[in-house]
Amino acid sequence: MSLDALYQRLILEHNRNPHNYGPLPEATHRGRAQDALCGDDLEMALVVDGDQIVAAKFEGEACAVTKASASLLTNWLVGQAPSKLQGHFEAFKTLLENPDHEPIDDLGDLNLLQPVGAFPARRGNASLPWIATLRAVGQISSSDCLPVR
């Protein structure tokens, strides 16, 4: 199976059956991000204990790429230190911006989203869950605009 076909299947599977979609009433941190151009509106909810994320979920309306990215991100977030998320997001953006970049070990399955980078308009969709997450942990404010396109 080609990388493009695998990528398309991954997006469709996570869009149809997203992991960690739904409410997280016990969340200690929440962040929201919107993309007015495509109508995505996503909230990330986290349970943080000390310097470790112990649970992550998301809710909202989003396109297939954003939903797949949020699904993969919530899987990856458990066990991560909130203080290191900004650095991981920078690595993720590097992955999207450089189609020939080697997979980044620290990103795990998030590396599977690298083909999104071939479509610059979709980079923002793949990054939206990260922006909501960074807002949740206070690494960026809700008024900060992070162009990723």
Give the CATH number for residue 127: 3.90.1010.10
Over the chain, what is the mean pLDDT?
A: 91
Which residue(s) pair with 44 in the sheet?
31, 58
Q: Does 100 map to a domain?
A: yes
Q: Does 143 map to a domain?
A: no
pLDDT at 10 (0 to 100): 84
**What pTM does this model have?**
0.91
pLDDT digits (tens, 9 = 90+) for 50-96: 999 999 999 999 999 999 999 999 999 999 999 999 999 999 999 99
Q: What domain count does the chain have?
A: 1
Q: How confident is the model at residue 22 (pLDDT cuts 50, 70, 90)?
A: very high
Instruction: State how far the Cα of 39 lies from the Cα of 63, in Å rounded to an integer.
Output: 8
Q: Does 141 map to a domain?
A: no
Task: List all residues 6 or more positions away from 148 whose beta carbon is below 8 Å from its beta carbon.
Answer: 93, 96, 123, 124, 127, 131
Question: Is residue 147 within 8 Å of residue 106, measured between CB atoms?
Answer: no
pLDDT at 62 (0 to 100): 95
